[in-house]
């Protein structure tokens, strides 16, 4: 970890000349910071917007910080009214509460004296805001909309599907990389060729098969259709080609079974590639939307992505809940990626060797 930190520090602080900055150094830093901003800017905006009110999210022009307009109770009105700084005709500035807006005119009332009412042009008023973090955006969906159940469903689908994917793909890759048999290259071409088939073409046939097996509105109907992936088979096969054949031949001479060779020798040596495939599988399954939307129609078996879609109505959308729950759905993927990212470079680089 220390060596990696030192290497990153040396790369970042490296200059063309030791005693001065060259124009290429300025350009490199600009390009670096621009890339960081483009990658992390949307995530920061998402995090800040997730603690805004629904009205604050839809404000124009938008604000970066979670600022919400102050509202107060006024005698004679059922709902809280929004507070504004208003410039009157005599040039004085006072605080008024808005009753309603009609076109370019706002009907307002003095909160201290509800008998005094005004008609103010909308360009003569300014919203009074305060810094307000709406943690209810995170708590309400968990309490009211049973989001913990949706989290459990997504975790179950992701974990089980990833385990099945790793087992099936690694077995197929083992056969295509270690064994020598007639039609091996044809089988490999057939597996890779399935990448050319768009998902939309096979949706109806796969749905028909799932329906005949009685897996509609079942999490297994989401898990099993994508259990074997051609990308995973190719990735693991390319990595297993780099393994020393001497180890496998020595194990066979010691009368080790093919299962023992696969389980005790090939799989442990293929951990970097398996970790890469695990990351890809977790990301695919956790973020999958189209297939669960087709298979699942009962709310008790919804995954997170389908549950988030439920916040979009025909007339209104609860963006404060959508953004807050989207932020929560990003955390597991970010943590897993952070933990397994050390295998990505090794695994992908080795799959290109033969």
pLDDT digits (tens, 9 = 90+) for 281-309: 998 999 898 899 999 988 889 998 888 88
User: What pLDDT digit, counting tens, does each position of 256-266 carry?
Assistant: 888 999 999 99
Tokens of 236: 């693991």
What is the percent of the chain where pLDDT is above 90?
A: 17
Please give the pLDDT value at position 352: 46
- Per-residue HEC secondary structure of 243-259 comes to CCHHHHHHHHHCCCCHH
In the predicted model, what is the mean pLDDT of residues 311-327? 78
Neighbours of 152 (CB within 10 A): 13
Please give the pLDDT value at position 173: 92
3-class DSSP state of 312: strand
- Would you place residue 209 in the very low, low, confident or very high pLDDT band (cuts 50, 70, 90)? very high
- Would you place residue 152 in the very low, low, confident or very high pLDDT band (cuts 50, 70, 90)? very high
Nearest to 161 by CA among 288, 348, 308: 288
pLDDT of 169 over the 90 cut: yes
- Would you place residue 353 in the very low, low, confident or very high pLDDT band (cuts 50, 70, 90)? very low
Q: Residue 105 in contact with residue 120, Cβ under 8 Å?
A: yes
Euclidean distance between CA atoms 304 and 142, whole angstroms: 12
- Would you place residue 354 in the very low, low, confident or very high pLDDT band (cuts 50, 70, 90)? very low
In the predicted model, what is the mean pLDDT of residues 201-220? 91
Nearest to 290 by CA among 222, 224, 228: 222
Q: Residue 239 in contact with residue 273, Cβ under 8 Å?
A: yes
In the predicted model, what is the mean pLDDT of residues 245-249? 88
Helix (H) or strand (E) holding 303: none
Dihedral sign of CA atoms 280, 281, 286, 289 in order: positive
What is the percent of the chain where pLDDT is above 70?
A: 90
- Would you place residue 24 in the very low, low, confident or very high pLDDT band (cuts 50, 70, 90)? confident
Query: How far is CA 265 from each of CA 174, 307, 310, rounded to the nearest angstrom?
Result: 11, 42, 47
Give the range among 69-78, 112-121, 313-322, 324-333 with minimum mean pLDDT: 313-322
pLDDT of 101 over the 80 cut: yes
pLDDT of 149 over the 50 cut: yes
Helix (H) or strand (E) holding 285: helix 271-287
- Tell which wins on pLDDT, 59 or 275: 275
- Would you place residue 16 in the very low, low, confident or very high pLDDT band (cuts 50, 70, 90)? low
Nearest to 188 by CA among 170, 167, 173: 173
Q: Residue 132 in contact with residue 68, Cβ under 8 Å?
A: yes
In the predicted model, what is the mean pLDDT of residues 29-51? 88
Give the range among 247-256, 292-301, 345-354 with minimum mean pLDDT: 345-354
Tokens of 116: 């005094």
pLDDT of 1 over the 70 cut: no
In the predicted model, what is the mean pLDDT of residues 150-170? 93
Q: Residue 233 in contact with residue 305, Cβ under 8 Å?
A: no
Nearest to 137 by CA among 325, 309, 5, 307: 325
pLDDT of 216 over the 50 cut: yes
Please give the pLDDT value at position 218: 92
Taking the model in full, what pTM does it have?
0.76
pLDDT of 56 over the 90 cut: no
In the predicted model, what is the mean pLDDT of residues 29-45? 87
Please give the pLDDT value at position 192: 86
3-class DSSP state of 109: strand
Euclidean distance between CA atoms 170 and 266, whole angstroms: 9
């Amino acid at each position: 970890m220390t060596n990696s930190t030192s290497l990153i520090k040396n790369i970042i602080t490296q200059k063309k000349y030791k005693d001065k900055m060259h124009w290429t150094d300025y350009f490199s830093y600009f390009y670096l910071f621009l890339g960081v901003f483009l990658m992390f800017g949307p995530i920061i905006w998402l995090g800040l917007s997730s603690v805004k009110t629904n009205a604050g999210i839809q404000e124009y022009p938008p604000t970066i910080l979670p600022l919400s307009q102050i509202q107060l109770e006024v005698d004679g009105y059922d709902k809280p009214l929004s507070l504004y700084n208003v410039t009157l005709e005599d040039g004085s500035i006072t605080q008024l509460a808005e009753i309603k807006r009609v076109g370019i005119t706002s009907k307002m009332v003095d909160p201290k004296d509800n008998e005094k009412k005004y008609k103010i042009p909308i360009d003569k008023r300014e919203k009074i805001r305060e810094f307000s973090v709406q943690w209810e955006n995170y708590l309400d969906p968990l309490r009211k909309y049973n989001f913990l159940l949706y989290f459990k469903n997504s975790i179950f689908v992701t974990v089980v599907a990833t385990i099945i994917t790793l087992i099936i793909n690694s077995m197929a890759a083992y056969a295509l990389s270690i064994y020598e048999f007639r039609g091996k290259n044809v089988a490999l071409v057939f597996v890779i060729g399935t990448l050319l088939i768009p998902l939309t073409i096979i949706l109806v046939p796969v749905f028909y098969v799932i329906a005949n097996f009685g897996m509609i509105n079942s999490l297994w109907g989401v898990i099993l259709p994508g259990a074997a992936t051609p990308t995973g088979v190719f990735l693991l096969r390319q990595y297993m080609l780099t393994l020393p054949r001497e180890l496998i031949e020595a194990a066979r001479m010691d009368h080790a079974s093919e299962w023992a060779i696969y389980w005790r020798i090939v799989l442990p040596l293929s951990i970097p590639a398996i970790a890469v495939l695990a990351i890809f599988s977790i990301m695919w399954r956790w973020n999958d939307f189209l297939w669960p939307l087709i298979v699942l129609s009962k709310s008790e078996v919804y995954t997170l992505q389908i549950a988030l879609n439920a916040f979009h109505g025909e007339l209104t959308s609860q963006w404060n809940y959508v953004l807050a729950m989207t932020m929560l759905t990003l955390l597991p993927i970010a943590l897993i990626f952070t933990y397994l990212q050390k295998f990505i470079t090794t695994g992908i680089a080795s799959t290109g060797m033969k």
